Structure 1
């Protein structure tokens, strides 16, 4: 790739590290006899090789380095690894030929597969986007007016239906409309595209001829804005003048949430450390989502501190400053780049003086006071080392707070307490409920034991070891009650004894318990192994210790047959044991 590591940027250095690390692992693994395949260790080697090939091709590695542009480059890399390994593992050198051969075969096979996939993808893209791409290519970039105004007069430069260009379109049709200029913001930088309307007026008398509702705006081929919507009234044709009007309420929501996102990032860096960085974002009309790198969940105290900081900056009523400058000048000034964005020579810098300075093409409030308030809704992990905060601001913040206040009012009314006493009252209720449940469970267990006591007389004696066996259906007794009953019976019947109980506590459930005394276990019959097989007849499974096991199932209609089988099998098992 003719790339110098010392002069490479961070992204390129990461790619070079991946190639170096993976090549070392692959060479040693093949040297140790692990051949690339689709199973076990071989699959690990194959995946490592393919990642090296993909990464190498991404940074421009092609050919074998000996004027064969169709050759494999992995053997050349492996030569370096082998030469550096002579003092670490001399056996690698002796296996040079087989290592290079395997790498060459794997790379060339994988490159062929990649080539077929890329060709197929190109054909599919050409088929799906051909017409749309051609018409869009013929149209100049859209002039964006949305920073200064929510209204503009424009000319229809193109109309697409299902990707195909048309000259005119009528009511009820879903369309994509291309304009020469627009106040509509197209989705980018995490911010969703604007909603609104396009109006077409007649030349005489200014009568409204058509209305197009716009539900999304996307960018295509650089800076061409595609307005996606539905013809609600009339018809529209290419070349017509239209009035474009952005939904101001929704735009204000996006502006409030976008500026709040900038404040949130600054608050995060202040509270948990400047090393955290953005890993993704969504700025919608009614909420924001911010992903950031961090190794653990945020504490309640940290979340409250972050919220407090953001709301303090909002209440400071600071005017935002927006400037367009050279990219390098912006970086020198300390501006933070937004995640996933690509920048040209000239960039837009949005600054909340004393708080935040970021490269950003999104729409923002003019003063932080317009955000009104900020509230974190949730904080959670979404990947290893990546956390996500969801929050609301602006009107969505007011609606959220009002709805939570209504919930609290209803709760206070139901509990007949003041808002400040709700926590203690709920804790008391939870404790009372826990106590009541424990008492109910204890009573059910006592009832099950009393019911079991009447069953002890049904135990049968099995020779030659005089084992007392009891297999019974206890109706609707729950699992805890069944456990208590089995423990009581195996103690009552005395050693050696085997108790197997089943029940149908309701809702399509089956509970099974097997309790064996020490004497039965010594004979080689184990409760854990025994009950699992019986449970399968009831559509379930289970297990446990040699002396006690529980199981469950989902077919209560099979319980009688399962218990009959249990009786037959336990009798057979104990009868066959020699004295």
Structure 2
């Protein structure tokens, strides 16, 4: 018969109850059982738990004595520790905590436990969890002269058994509460091995070595910046060229200048930028720009304040003609935009626009 222990609890004073599930066979009162501990799981959990004690003390030394435990969880994979602090830790503070914990690990501090009265424990300087209720007797865990806490958990015999300590992350979980997640022992080595593998993969992608990767990335960033600058310059030149071409299409409708033009492969942002330039060059009037891009249609209209007073309305204009390209839209009197799904209707939209505008103007 087998029984998987999932947790333990103190019952009837010093007795400990093992709680879990029967995974095979049957048990009856009086059976003699053999306890088998998962040695690796226990060892890794001990490492994480003891490292958490060192970390809490290190946090108080680096950040200040306002740091108090607000939550904690350890298993064989990692440790998670919540603590009171008023802002995100800096990279320098995280490194200082990490370095101090690793220093205490390398010093090989003996980890000693003792059961004593609560008052004696307080006199010894043991740190207690704020708001926690303790019995008359408590267990004190002391790591050299560095850390002394009330704790009933499992620990290493000497801090050197923790091996290594690495902080993975630090972030906020509530107002005034920060959370650190960290690794110890074999898990730190596995973490660095994974990081090394990823670094080699990244270096391979840009045809560099891990040693030259940073310089290679900086060079690529400079090249990308130059390409973007050149691209923007070309776009500006194309826009200026387009301005000259479309200005020839200006017509007058009841004394209002109207400019309508169809363009290729220009997105909505591009239409707005071009529209602003055209409006400045036109001075007064209404502008309609339509572009097909990726099988879809973008429409944008602008009207200057003076022609709006005469009845022109960019939103109503675009709403009326967008149906010609299988779409819809609207907007303010001075600026509106729409989208459509039928590029074949662009010519009809351009033809319909002057008639719509003419009806608006009084």
User: Structure 1, unaligned stretches of length 5 or more?
Assistant: 1-199, 201-210
2:129 counterpart residue number: 338
Q: Could you tell me which of 50, 57, 73 is aligned with 1:266?
A: 57
Contact 1:374 1:397 in 2 (8 A): yes
1:57 counterpart residue number: none
| Residue 557 (structure 1) shift | 1.9
1:217 counterpart residue number: 7
| Residue 246 (structure 1) shift | 2.1
The verdict on how the C-alpha distance between 1:505 and 1:424 changes in structure 2, with shifts beyond 3 A counting, is: farther
**Is it true that 1:485 corresponds to 2:291 in the alignment?**
no
Aligned residues: 356
Aligned 1:101-250 pairs, distance under 5 A: 200=1, 211-212=2-3, 216-217=6-7, 219=9, 224-228=17-21, 231=23, 234-239=24-29, 240-250=31-41
2:287 counterpart residue number: 499
Q: What is the SS of the residue equivalent to 2:36?
A: strand
Q: How many angstroms apart in 1 are the aligned matches of 2:108 and 2:322?
A: 68
**Is it true that 1:516 corresponds to 2:309 in the alignment?**
no
Q: What is the SS of the residue equivalent to 1:303?
A: helix
Q: How many angstroms apart in 1 are the aligned matches of 2:311 and 2:25?
A: 86
Q: How many angstroms apart in 2 are the aligned matches of 1:368 and 1:540?
A: 68
The verdict on how the C-alpha distance between 1:447 and 1:367 changes in structure 2, with shifts beyond 3 A counting, is: same
Q: What is the SS of the residue equivalent to 1:337?
A: coil
Q: How many angstroms apart in 2 are the aligned matches of 1:395 and 1:471?
A: 67
Aligned 1:12-411 pairs, distance under 5 A: 200=1, 211-212=2-3, 216-217=6-7, 219=9, 224-228=17-21, 231=23, 234-239=24-29, 240-338=31-129, 341-411=132-202
Q: Could you tell me which of 418, 425, 434 is aligned with 2:216?
A: 425
Q: What is the SS of the residue equivalent to 1:237?
A: coil
| Residue 458 (structure 1) shift | 4.9
User: What whole-Å deviation, never above 9, does each CA across 1:275-302 have from its counterpart, x for those lacking one?
Assistant: 1211111212111111111111111111
The verdict on how the C-alpha distance between 1:265 and 1:561 changes in structure 2, with shifts beyond 3 A counting, is: farther
Contact 2:312 2:360 in 1 (8 A): no
| Residue 305 (structure 1) shift | 0.9
Contact 1:259 1:365 in 2 (8 A): yes
User: What whole-Å deviation, never above 9, does each CA across 1:453-511 have from its counterpart, x for those lacking one?
Assistant: 54555555322x32314264x3432344323432344355x2322223344645x9875
The verdict on how the C-alpha distance between 1:412 and 1:419 changes in structure 2, with shifts beyond 3 A counting, is: same
Q: Which has the higher mean CA deviation after the structures are superposed, 381-390 or 413-422?
A: 413-422
Q: Which has the higher mean CA deviation after the structures are superposed, 518-527 or 393-402?
A: 518-527
Contact 2:308 2:334 in 1 (8 A): yes
TM, length-normalised to structure 2: 0.81
TM, length-normalised to structure 1: 0.53
Contact 1:502 1:559 in 2 (8 A): no
The verdict on how the C-alpha distance between 1:528 and 1:310 changes in structure 2, with shifts beyond 3 A counting, is: farther
| Residue 228 (structure 1) shift | 3.8
| Residue 421 (structure 1) shift | 4.0
The verdict on how the C-alpha distance between 1:502 and 1:396 changes in structure 2, with shifts beyond 3 A counting, is: farther
User: What whole-Å deviation, never above 9, does each CA across 1:131-179 have from its counterpart, x for those lacking one?
Assistant: xxxxxxxxxxxxxxxxxxxxxxxxxxxxxxxxxxxxxxxxxxxxxxxxx
Q: How many angstroms apart in 2 are the aligned matches of 1:482 and 1:513?
A: 7
1:96 counterpart residue number: none
Q: How many angstroms apart in 1 are the aligned matches of 2:96 and 2:236?
A: 49
